[in-house]
Amino acid sequence: MNCVICKNGNMNEGHVTVTLQRGDSIIVLKNVPASVCENCGEYTLSETVVERVMQIAEESVTKKVEIEVLNYAA
């Protein structure tokens, strides 16, 4: 599959760091499995991963954290 952004690079399975902001909370999620473009670094997440990421983010927002750094794999 070719990258939808640069149309050049191949998408490889890898891991990315996702940063989310919800209101006043910032959540940094490390080791999120993703397809990463070898050319421009753009990434896409699968539906299952997005759901899990949102779930983790909601938990942090509920706790009213200012900033939280989490590991997806943990």
Q: Which stretch binds Zn ion (CB under 5 A): 19-27, 29-37, 48-56, 66-74?
A: 29-37
User: Does residue 41 contact residue 34 with C-beta atoms inside 8 Å?
Assistant: no
Measured over all CA atoms, what is the biggest interatomic distance in the chain, rounded to whole angstroms?
Answer: 42
Name the segment binding Zn ion (CB under 5 A); options: 23-31, 37-45, 46-54, 61-69: 37-45
R_g of the chain computed on alpha carbons: 14
The residues pairing with 44 across neighbouring beta strands, listed in sequence order, are: 35
Count of residues in contact with Zn ion, rule CB under 5 A? 8
Interface positions with Zn ion (CB under 5 A): 3, 5-6, 9, 37, 39-40, 42
